[in-house]
Chain A
């Protein structure tokens, strides 16, 4: 179906529903795709797209950034990271700032490049900053398995990997915002499979559609969610059939379960969510940077910047409702992580939203 036909169909269904519906795109990649393509501007006013906590960089705590910077300052280390992490402010600066001070911090495209760096620098400790949801976690698990089988002693991961379902449950449990349906993350679901969202339908009566990333994919997914709302159903549907199956990628799941185990994790703006994080299993403990390099300064400096990224991540406010947005906080001078990340909600609003949004 063409974009125009889908917009028309959504409009007709919205009229039939006759009230405002809040649909949450959980994934930061969806947030950016929806803004960049302009489809938000073509939706009827009564179909609201809320941005959720699915930007892994945005939900990473100050404490983790501080630990990463501390490791960068440690003698003989090389820090390897995805580029999005570089400018995220911790309580004592950012990785960018540490790099500017001469610390060896390298932006890499693939976790496998971190292993290559470890192989090429046998006399130095190479630490990869493991940040990301289910899409990225198996890749990092594979690097640990590979380092283990090659007996590489100088590679480790500072793990802040998270799983998306506990956060979606936390949103459903919260009184802050009402979500009428979820656009579930497409590439996370490639790994996990579609089945994982069933509890949201069963326990919270929340319709779920796993969406692809092209404008047509997102619009069709919205249309499918509206169908469920009209019929009073709540089920898991896969719009992104090109990539997503019911059971997911079994090889990737096996790899993750071999290396990581669930743990409680701190989410920016949402606090500690039980069993929402992953930590390295004891069988691979020599590759766990948290154990290998214990914190020197544990106390977190509380920053009172006025930043409301936490509320943005829970969809309690839109970025324009934060007093810093487009004033003190811009992509050139980001105060909070949602403005730093290429998939952060504030960055998306700054670049693409209408003046009145």
Chain B
């Protein structure tokens, strides 16, 4: 139930809490009310349709490296 995934904000609406995010090529709406000053281009952690944390570029890089190592070990 506490699953959350990193996604990227691609646009923000005027209501200040709705964003469109890109999750591995899939676009969907997300609620960003729990995030301080969300910006287009920010990476966020998405849980049940809500952003619960921002990720820095370094966080994304670390995550991608972990995923890459996992995929390399499967091949």
Contacts and interface: CB of A to CB of B under 8 A. Distances in A.
A248 B40 CA distance: 23
A148 interface: no
Contacts of A207: none
Interface in B29-55: 31, 33-36, 45, 47-50, 52-53, 55
Nearest to A84: B1
Contact of A214 (B3, B31, B66): B66
**Interface footprint category on B:** 20 to 34
A190 B66 contact: no
Contact of B2 (A187, A215, A216): A187
A242 interface: yes
A55 B1 CA distance: 7
A53 B45 CA distance: 24
Interface string A1-32: 01100000000000000000000000111000
**Interface footprint category on A:** 35 or more
B53 A243 contact: yes
A138 B2 contact: no
Interface in A153-201: 185-188, 190-191
A110 B50 contact: yes
Nearest to A134: B2
A241 B25 CA distance: 26
A249 B53 contact: yes
B62 to A, nearest CB: 6
B20 interface: no
A185 B47 CA distance: 14
A122 to B, nearest CB: 20
Interface in A76-100: 82, 84
Given A27-B2, A84-B1, A243-B59, A111 B70 contact: no
Contact of A112 (B45, B49, B63): B49
A3 B73 contact: yes
Nearest to A37: B70
Contacts of A249: 34, 52-53
Contacts of B59: 241-243
Given A242-B59, A242-B62, A251-B35, A135 B49 contact: no
A217 interface: yes
Nearest to A2: B69
25 contacts: A2-B73, A82-B1, A82-B48, A84-B1, A111-B48, A112-B49, A131-B1, A133-B1, A136-B47, A138-B50, A138-B52, A139-B48, A139-B50, A142-B34, A187-B2, A190-B45, A214-B66, A214-B70, A215-B70, A216-B70, A243-B53, A243-B59, A249-B34, A252-B34, A255-B34
Complex A-B, nearest 10 residue pairs according to Cβ-Cβ distance, in ascending order: A110-B49, A242-B59, A187-B2, A135-B2, A139-B50, A252-B34, A29-B2, A190-B53, A110-B48, A214-B66
